Amino acid sequence: MIMSDIDYSFGDYEDAPESGDNRSEYRLAASASVTLELESPIPDAEGEPSGRSLISRTSDVSARGIRLTTAEPITRGALLPVWVSLEDDNEPFGLMVEVVWCRANTENSWLVGLQILESDDTSYLEWVEAVAKAMSEG
């Protein structure tokens, strides 16, 4: 179901990508911590961890997308594993995302739009249920 721009209960349209607001779902006004895995660790590597992660916070989430601010640009089209922790949930949701857009926000920050991908090896169904529950309570 596609909703018009005026139906949104959350979102700052001035922060939308330059191409306009392409949201097709309501956004949830909930704070979440997002950890993006930018480089996977080498399996069974000894010594220093070889992976690289980026931690960010967002308050703009939906069942299929996340907008966040990062301290570095993220490559558009990248497929990345992420872990998202909502305020009320103890366990982070392990998800797979695609970077849909990334643009400079300030001199030292970037706005990034992530699309959550449906995948059997992730917490996708649990994520969708948690967002639906939070929206029905809010």
For residue range 53-97, what is the model confidence (pLDDT) as tens digits?
999 988 688 899 999 999 999 999 999 999 999 876 678 999 999
Supply the pTM of this predicted model: 0.74
Q: Which residue has the tokens 């895995």?
A: 37
Whole-number Å distance between alpha carbons of 17 and 85: 25
- Full set of structural domains in the chain with CATH: 5-9+23-41+49-131 (2.40.10.220)
Q: Is the pLDDT of residue 117 over 90?
A: yes
In angstroms, rounded to a whole number, what is the distance separating the alpha carbons of residues 62 and 80? Answer: 18
User: pLDDT band at residue 6, thresholds of 50, 70 and 90?
Assistant: very low
Least confident of 29-38, 39-48, 49-58, 63-72: 39-48
